[in-house]
Amino acid sequence: MTDRSTIEQHIAAPVVPAKRRFSLVWIVPLVALAIGGWLAFKAIRDKGPTITITFATADGLEAGKTKIKFKDVDIGQVESIALSEDAAKVMVTAKMIKGSEVFLTDQTKFWVVRPRISGGSITGLGTVLSGAYIGIDGSRLGKPASTFTGLETPPVVTFDHPGRSFKIVADSLGSLDIGSPVYYRQIQVGQVVGYNLNEKGTGVDIVIFVDAPHFTRVTKNTKFWNASGFDVSLSAHGLKIDTQSMVSIINGGIAFDLPKDSGPGKEAEEDTTFHLYADRNAIQEKRYTIRTYYTLLFDESVRGLQIGAPVELYGIKMGEVVDLNLEFDLEQKKFVAPVTVAIEPERMSFSNREKILKIFNNDPSLFIKTMVERHGLRAQLQSANLLTGQLMVNLVFVPDAPRATLTTRNGVQVVPTVTGSFERLQESVSRILTRLENVPFDQIGNELQLTLKAATATIAEVGNLTATLNSETAPKLQTALMELQKTLIDVQKSLGANSPLQYNTTKTLEELSRTLRALRELTTTLEHQPQSILFGKKRQPDE
């Protein structure tokens, strides 16, 4: 026990160093953690928005490769492509760069850029080698959005393009299309950017965009017309062809201008609605406030008469045809063609225009009523174009026409009608054709053939007779001509200037002249001194 205690006393107590609170080994993971945190923070800070775009198909798109470009600058990339739940569309998820949020509003448009041919132009040829990409037309207007519906065709005008949009109302689209040009005095100042049927489906609403500064020329009084193709007119000045350009002939177009004698008016605002006229001439027609309707009952064919055909008086348009039909008259047991026309009295000029128009406003039918009952006004069909067979309604004054009054039919006044000149021409032609059918052409042909045979035989006999005369009569005729020539020579010698006959004739004429002078003197003497025939001529004092 003692030894053990001694040994324990001689053994020194162990020295335990103080434990360090921080080791340098931890610096590495801490630095790595800090860098990772910073990178994570930076990634979160620089992370762009994720958007979803819906397209009809994924043609040309590829996940991880297809870019989204704004003005040819990459601002995003397609990450995934999937079908929608109903498999009717394609959902494209794309990652956008930081800062693109300002363009991602509900007004922003997306479309796939690929080679296209439309409106007479070719776009997207650069994607043949580089591949398709998604284009974006960013707009700062509107509310922020992350889901978009892609366009099937690129927008014609981008948001940053200066100009103004207008709405054009037309009956039909015709040859117009997106990208069709808009002209002002044959200079392209805009284009068609969209169209769709109106709510009732009775017409087409066309949206056009007019570039700056030309949109200021569109005013409240501006008229738009369809400039597609070309207009051909034949007048006293010759043939006239009117077109805006070769592009409008092929792809269609719209033109606008102010009508003649029209002031510019107030500048039109954005999305102002205008009517599309058929052609340039249509914009010159005035709009009339007084319009009266009449029915014309024709018992002849109205083939070639169409709605819109003019109603003319002395060659001046007074209205147009607005409706035509075919009915059976039970009382007269025949078919009639009721034609409804609209007459616009304001088309005429009057010495006291305001007073007359006031009367027309009170009784719009007064003019036609007076002309029918007092002056024999009647309506008739007349050919408007012999080549196409189109008809028009012509108002004529018929001399000594039976007295007539305006009657009413289904609430519309009826104007009396007369047979048109074209119908009379048809009747005359029909009568001529009937007479021609009664002509016995076969009998005449047979008789003519017999006559020709007889004439041929006669001509042959005349030929034989001529040959006989040539052989037998010619020598005798030659001898007679020689004898006649000798006789004429003898006559010439007898009547020559130095011939005795000529000398004696001259002397005889001189004696006859002296005798006539003597008789003239005798006649004068007897006229002044008739007694001289008994007592002789009275002598003069100087004799």
Same domain, 358 and 267: no
In a domain, 20, yes or no: no
In a domain, 378, yes or no: yes
In a domain, 2, yes or no: no
Asked if 56 contacts 90 with a C-beta cutoff of 8 angstroms, the reply is: yes
Q: Read off the pLDDT of residues 372-428 as tens digits, 9 standing for 90 and up.
A: 888 888 999 988 877 777 889 999 998 888 888 888 888 888 999 888 665 556 666
User: Which residues lie closer than 8 Å to 48 by C-beta, 6 or more apart?
Assistant: 76, 95, 96, 97, 98, 99, 100, 101
Q: Which two tokens stand for residue 391?
A: 């008809």
In a domain, 449, yes or no: no
Q: Which residues constitute the domain of residue 276? A: 163-284
For residues 481 and 461, give the distance between their C-alpha atoms in angstroms, rounded to a whole number. Answer: 28
In a domain, 466, yes or no: no
For residues 21 and 515, give the distance between their C-alpha atoms in angstroms, rounded to a whole number. Answer: 191
Asked if 69 contacts 21 with a C-beta cutoff of 8 angstroms, the reply is: no
Same domain, 317 and 249: no
In a domain, 441, yes or no: no
Same domain, 416 and 480: no
For residues 508 and 515, give the distance between their C-alpha atoms in angstroms, rounded to a whole number. Answer: 11
How many Cβ atoms from other residues are within 10 Å of residue 170's Cβ?
21
Q: Which two tokens stand for residue 358?
A: 């006031």
Of 251, 284, 317, the last residue of a domain is 284
Same domain, 134 and 248: no
* DSSP collapsed to 3 states, 125-169: CCHHHHCCEEEEECCCCCCECCEEECECCCCCCCCCCCEEEEEEE
Same domain, 302 and 387: yes
Of 429, 463, 482, the last residue of a domain is 429
pLDDT at residue number 235: 47
Same domain, 532 and 476: yes
For residues 213 and 339, give the distance between their C-alpha atoms in angstroms, rounded to a whole number. Answer: 49
Q: At what angle do helices 353-362 and 366-375 cross, to 10 degrees?
A: 100
Listed residue (293, 299, 306, 308) closest to 327, CA to CA = 299
Q: Read off the pLDDT of residues 488-506 as tens digits, 9 standing for 90 and up.
A: 776 666 666 666 666 667 7
Amino acid at 442: D
Regions of the chain where pLDDT drops below 50: 235-237, 542-543
How does strand 273-277 pair with strand 223-226? Answer: parallel
pLDDT at residue number 357: 63
* DSSP collapsed to 3 states, 357-414: HHHHHHCCCHHHHHHHHHHCEEEEEEEEECCCCEEEEEEEECCCCCCCCCEEECCEEE
Asked if 298 contacts 339 with a C-beta cutoff of 8 angstroms, the reply is: yes
Same domain, 263 and 305: no
Same domain, 369 and 241: no
Asked if 408 contacts 325 with a C-beta cutoff of 8 angstroms, the reply is: no
For residues 45 and 51, give the distance between their C-alpha atoms in angstroms, rounded to a whole number. Answer: 17
Same domain, 274 and 335: no
Span between the terminal Cα atoms of the chain, in Å: 243
Same domain, 315 and 337: yes
Same domain, 267 and 306: no
The count of domains in the chain is: 4
pLDDT at residue number 243: 60
DSSP 49: P
In a domain, 213, yes or no: yes
Same domain, 424 and 529: no
What's the pTM? 0.52
Asked if 347 contacts 341 with a C-beta cutoff of 8 angstroms, the reply is: no
In a domain, 408, yes or no: yes
Listed residue (222, 113, 226) closest to 180, CA to CA = 226
Distances (CA, A) of 333 to 273, 299, 327: 51, 12, 11
Of 129, 151, 173, the last residue of a domain is 151
